[in-house]
Amino acid sequence: MLDVDLVVAVHDLRRNFVRAVRSAFDDDGARPGGPTSSRPPSSASRPKVRVTVVAHGIPASEIEARLRLERLSGELADGRVRVLELDDGVPSPTGPFTLGLDSATATFVALLGSDDHLAPGALAAWWRLAESRGSAAVLAPLRLDSGRLLRNPVPRPFAGRFWPAPLDPVRDRLAPRSAPLGLVRREVVERLRLRLTPGLRTGEDIAFSARLWFSGERLDLDRRAPAYVIGTDAAQRVSTSPKAVQDELAALRLLREEPWVEALGPAQRRALAVTVLRVHVLGAVGRRAGFELPEDEGDWLSALARDWVELAPAALDPLSRADRMVLASLLEKKVPLSLTSAYRANADRPDAILPQRVRHLLDREGTLRRYVRERMWW
């Protein structure tokens, strides 16, 4: 019985996908020919892993040839690595990742970008935690390949550190984490019908993640575990290519229309809406600071912001004064968005941190409290 099915989607042979595949077996010296270790983990403490490489718009034979060239013939021969082929003509990772998930048979599944890789021992550490706590999902710590830690999520300072309590989606601020990176129990994936959203060029994993975070299932994080390492050496990632606002944020429009979002409790709706407004709506505006959006894009963005505010009006309370000014220009259209976005980009520290009303200064979703949590992450 397989413990982990790891899916790697490859759409470009120039990507360093061999590094991604190899990292799945780089278990602190577990893989022959890998880094040595004076005390390698016992076989009982290592999961049985299969890597599924989905060749997206590329002949499977070319992927296999590259893997053999990189001395992974043994893994191909014994089934620890397999290559599936998909040619759907859609420039999105949704298709290949969905094919990989649909073909999985292991207890847990994991997704890995072709630009990314796993730190040595990562899968084993996540798997041991999931097995010991009965986790529906284990969130992976995230690092850039430069070594910088990404504090996402920013949980309570002592959450999961001294006692085996699960993460709480509101108190541990899971909503900003838009990708399901780590391990997810396959039974949970099937029961909750978790799938990447088809038809999107970016944000295809937002609904998958949000549904999982707010499902009530057990979620765990070992912040000291080996990390999921995000590669930054690719010339161009699909998810960061310039797009129209309607394409960039289409996932948030679809998420707002999900029945389960309406069924969330007030605190959960608020936490999700704060993330949509701060991270996605204001993020999109910030990337266009000083420029007036085309009328159709501005109207579309205004409607999106308005719908999320209607879902959770209290989501505006913890936002900073600079953030509120931009949102006011979106919602009320009394001041040009280009002026407020430029002001936000250059706002002084009080306006960038403080909310409009003092009573929201220590709000869990407030900027000040978030900064403090980030400093206490470890």
Measured CA to CA, the distance from residue 281 to residue 262 in angstroms comes to: 19
Per-residue pLDDT, 372 = 81
CA 124 to chain centre: 20
Q: How confident is the model at residue 162 (pLDDT cuts 50, 70, 90)?
A: low
The confidence score (pLDDT) of residue 337 equals 86
In the chain, domain spans: 4-240, 245-375
Cβ-based burial of 88 (10 A; exposed 0-12, middle 13-18, buried ≥19): middle
The Cα 250–Cα 186 span in angstroms is 27
Query: Could you give the maximum distance between any two Cα atoms of the chain, in Å?
Result: 67
Question: According to the model, what pLDDT value does residue 163 have?
Answer: 62
Torsion of CA 279, 157, 209, 263, to 10 degrees: -90
Confidence band, pLDDT 50/70/90 cuts, at residue 44:
low
Superfamily (CATH H level) for 4-240? Spore Coat Polysaccharide Biosynthesis Protein SpsA; Chain A (3.90.550.10)
Residue 45 has a CB neighbour count (10 Å cut-off) of 14
DSSP H or E stretch at residue 183 = strand 182-185
Predicted confidence (pLDDT) per residue in 178-203, tens digit: 999 999 999 999 999 999 999 898 99
**Mean pLDDT of the region 31-46:** 46
Give percent of the chain with pLDDT exceeding 90: 72
Tell me the per-residue pLDDT of 121-155, one tens digit each, with 9 for 90 and over.
999 999 999 999 999 999 999 999 999 999 888 88
* Residue 226 contacts residue 125 (beta carbons within 8 Å): yes
As a whole number, mean pLDDT of residues 51-63 equals: 97
Where does the pLDDT of residue 41 fall: very low under 50, low under 70, confident under 90, or very high at 90 and above? Answer: very low
pLDDT band at residue 35 under the 50/70/90 scheme: very low
DSSP structure string for 92-161: STHHHHHHHHHT--SSEEEEEETT-EE-TTHHHHHHHHHHHHT-SEEEPPEEETTS-EE--S---TTTTT
